[in-house]
């Protein structure tokens, strides 16, 4: 069987891919790694549950389809099939909440001299963030 590496906000997880859906993995392994499990009331993590209309597309009981999980929870995914890696973004509700505050998340990058600089280094000062890419 093929191993699939899944990267999300909680870190990197490795799962054995199973023959269910587009990206099937063991439902038990997925629940242990992420805290999400399929229950009669929906897809749940702790006390939070997301309704699932088509449970047959989400799970066959033993496996869960990560592509369907991402769709139901409002996450964007990127898949590198040649390396068996999948990156999953935050839930849409979390992104929307962050956008309403207009606060940029703290991040750290190297400056042109190789020194690490964090956005929080400029607290209580006006900032202009410029992003550029050659492509």
pLDDT digit string, tens, across residues 3-12: 999 998 888 9
Which of residues 94 and 109 earns the better pLDDT score?
Answer: 109
pTM value surpassing 0.85: no
pLDDT digits (tens, 9 = 90+) for 41-97: 899 998 889 899 999 999 998 999 999 999 998 889 999 988 989 998 887 777 777
Specify the pLDDT at position 100. 81
Give the pLDDT score at 63: 94
Residue for token digits 């490795």? 14
pLDDT at 26 (0 to 100):
93
Domain ranges across the chain? 3-95
């Amino acid at each position: 069987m093929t191993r699939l590496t899944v990267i999300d906000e909680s870190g990197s997880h490795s799962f054995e891919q199973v023959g269910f859906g587009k990206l099937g993995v063991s439902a038990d392994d997925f629940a242990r790694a992420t805290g999400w499990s399929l229950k009669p009331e929906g897809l749940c993590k702790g006390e939070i549950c997301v309704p699932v209309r088509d449970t047959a597309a989400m799970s066959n009981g033993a496996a869960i389809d990560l592509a369907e999980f991402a769709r139901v929870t409002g996450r964007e995914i990127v898949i590198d099939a040649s390396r068996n890696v999948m990156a999953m973004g935050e839930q849409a509700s979390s992104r929307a909440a962050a956008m309403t505050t207009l606060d940029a998340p703290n991040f750290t990058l190297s400056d042109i001299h190789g020194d690490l600089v964090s956005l929080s280094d400029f607290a209580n000062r006006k900032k202009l963030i410029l992003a550029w890419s050659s492509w």
